Amino acid sequence: MSIVKNVACPVCGTLCDDLEITVDGNRVIGTKNTCAVSEAKLLNFSDPGHRNLKPLIRRDGEMVEVSWDEAIKRSAQILAEAHYPILYGWSCTNCEAIRMGIALAEEIGGVIDNTSTVCHGPSILSIQDVGIPTCTLGQIRHRADLIVYWASDPYSAHPRHVERYTAFSDGRFQHSEWESYVARLRGVLGKKRLSRASELTLMKDIPLPAVTGEKLPPSFRTGKRKLIVVDVRKTRSAEHADLFLQVEPNKDFELLQALRLLVKDEELEVNEIAGLPVHLLEEVADALIGCSFGAFFFGVGLTMSSGKTRNIDAAIALTQDLNYRTKFVIMPMRGHFNVAGANVVSTWQTGYPFAVDFSEGYPRYNPGETSVVDILSRGESDAGLIVASDPVSNFPREAARNLIKQPLIAIDPVASPTTVMADVVLPSTFVGIETEGTAYRMDRVPLPMKKLVEPPETCLSDEEILRRILKEVRHLKEVRGET
């Protein structure tokens, strides 16, 4: 039995790197510092029921086991013959595999796109429009006295975010508000003993009435950390907040614009905006200006609600405006553990973060045209390669239908609707569990992913599979005299 320390978690963009994993006989038997989500993955990843273990090829409608050589050859054939292949996924693998994927896309004149195309794509387009004032998460831990989660519920989607980087983390200039939270909790729960309260872990669901009244709570008059949650419904995170602002659905843009005006000391001629009283918003604006370091985090709730890019433009513009008055930063809450890495690698190799089209012999980028969902919706592609992703379940129906009509290669450690529909299934390994490599945290801090156990002998890493396909594609082209 051995304990591996300082393990980075291969689940969400929080990319906690303090996990301690107990390994016994090539199995993970214990975890420490994990949240429920990561614990579930780390303990259950090797469940043989879901695992792809052998290369498979569809023959006469049936999936049959074949050798690696044959599966690679078939994959290379499909890709080399295609006129406009798409390569999609990339946010749950390492940067080494992404690099290889880009080389392959270039070689076959295909389109390479990653999952940000369906989550924070609008955020990226906004950044390309106006820029972004941001920072690494440690800056927030050390300095932020005002933290706002907007359309993002960290307790569900990024369970340790608050504890590691924001309201309940300890920094040089700001301290965890866990204790005062506990104190408030005590006030609320009355008779419960403090010892009980301090035993509670952050993961436990503790209902605490968040302030939704018309005045800011007294904590806003101190220099301590304050947590605001803005959302359309009362999420778990909202229950932990000093202030919860319940915005009417699809009114985020109005609320952001109102705050922009208030921050610029302009008066609003109405009593209510987005379901919130203006005099409360005036106080919120004062709090935004009055803090010494503020941070906005926003989730897909903002990028996917009506307005999309417009919402993010407004949120970033508000942050930029606030920098004339104080220090303020903003950051998208990225989902998969290496979705940021997919953008980063794509950008340094091709100049563009996603939706890169090599069909002209150089990188071209025009989201809406060169993004995979749009290509599929128009039915333009004629082959697909999917890495560690499940577009058959996640894409709009028309796109998914076109995807399974064409020859489809799936590289994935686990079975999914996509691998079930694929014509070639290439069983890969779990990055961060069975394969090492680099991943980028949501603030684009690179972290090394560890190998904890040996992968099944019949599985290869994404990078190795792609390397072999690329080699075979080059070989095929040579044979045909195309190079």
In angstroms, what is the minimal distance from the CB of 43 to ligand SF4? 13
CB 128 within 8 A of CB 100: no
57 vs 442 by CB, closer to another protein: 442
In angstroms, what is the minimal distance from the CB of 38 to ligand SF4? 4
In angstroms, what is the minimal distance from the CB of 11 to ligand SF4? 4
Which among ligand SF4, another protein, none contacts residue 365 (Cβ within 5 to 8 A by kind)?
another protein
Binding residue for another protein, selected from 95, 111, 167, 243, defined by CB under 8 A: 95
Binding residue for ligand SF4, selected from 7, 15, 262, 289, defined by CB under 6 A: 15
Interface of this chain with another protein, residues 316 to 355, rule: CB under 8 A: 320, 323, 326-327, 329, 343-345, 347-353
349 vs 406 by CB, closer to another protein: 349
Q: Which helix (H) or strand (E) holds 186?
A: helix 178-189
CA distance 101 to 120: 21
Paired tokens of 473: 């594609």
Residues 338-352, buried b or exposed e (16+ Cβ, 10 A)? Answer: bbbbbbbbbeebbeb
Q: Residue 332 phi/psi, 5° resolution? A: -75, 140
Among 417, 409, 475, smallest CA distance to 101 is for 409
Binding residue for another protein, selected from 24, 129, 179, 454, defined by CB under 8 A: 129
Region near another protein per CB under 8 A, out of 64-72, 217-225, 387-395, 446-454: 446-454
CB 45 within 8 A of CB 430: yes
91 vs 402 by CB, closer to ligand SF4: 91
Paired tokens of 265: 């000391």
Binding residue for another protein, selected from 41, 51, 143, 467, defined by CB under 8 A: 143
Among 10, 6, 29, 30, smallest CA distance to 19 is for 6
Residue 16 interacts with ligand SF4 (CB under 6 A): yes or no: yes
Q: What is the DSSP letter of 444?
A: -
Binding residue for another protein, selected from 34, 52, 114, 134, defined by CB under 8 A: 134
Instruction: Count the residues in the chain.
Output: 483
Interface of this chain with ligand SF4, residues 155 to 194, rule: CB under 6 A: 158-160
Among 204, 207, 253, 259, smallest CA distance to 234 is for 207
CA distance 386 to 377: 17
CA distance 402 to 399: 5
Q: Euclidean distance between the first and final Cα of the chain, in Å?
A: 52
What are the distances in angstroms from CA 137 to CA 17, 189, 301?
13, 32, 21
CA atoms 171, 176, 3, 29: torsion sign: negative
Residue 14 interacts with ligand SF4 (CB under 6 A): yes or no: yes
3-class DSSP state of 172: coil
Q: Which helix (H) or strand (E) holds 106?
A: helix 95-108
Which among another protein, ligand SF4, none contacts residue 144 (Cβ within 5 to 8 A by kind)?
none
**Mask 426-445, x = binds another protein (CB under 8 A)?**
------------x-x---xx
**Mask 19-58, x = binds ligand SF4 (CB under 6 A)?**
---------------xx-xx--------------------
**Mask 202-241, x = binds another protein (CB under 8 A)?**
----------------------------------------
In angstroms, what is the minimal distance from the CB of 298 to ligand SF4? 17
**Mask 382-421, x = binds ligand SF4 (CB under 6 A)?**
----------------------------------------
CA distance 216 to 222: 12
Which among another protein, ligand SF4, none contacts residue 240 (Cβ within 5 to 8 A by kind)?
none
37 vs 135 by CB, closer to ligand SF4: 37
Q: Which helix (H) or strand (E) holds 315?
A: helix 309-322
Which among ligand SF4, another protein, none contacts residue 11 (Cβ within 5 to 8 A by kind)?
ligand SF4
Q: Residue 118 phi/psi, 5° resolution? A: -110, 5
444, amino acid identity: R
Paired tokens of 347: 């950008």
CA distance 298 to 284: 17
**Mask 101-120, x = binds another protein (CB under 8 A)?**
--x--x--------------
Interface of this chain with another protein, residues 358 to 377, rule: CB under 8 A: 358, 361-365
Pairing status of strand 19-24 against strand 243-246:
unpaired
Total of residues contacting another protein (CB under 8 A):
62
CA distance 158 to 357: 32
Residue 339 interacts with ligand SF4 (CB under 6 A): yes or no: no
Q: Residues in the site for ligand SF4, rule: CB under 6 A?
A: 9, 11-12, 14-16, 34-35, 37-38, 158-160
Q: Which residues bind another protein (CB under 8 A)?
A: 5-6, 8, 17-18, 95, 99, 103, 106, 124, 127-139, 141-143, 164-165, 170, 172-173, 292-293, 320, 323, 326-327, 329, 343-345, 347-353, 358, 361-365, 438, 440, 444-448, 483
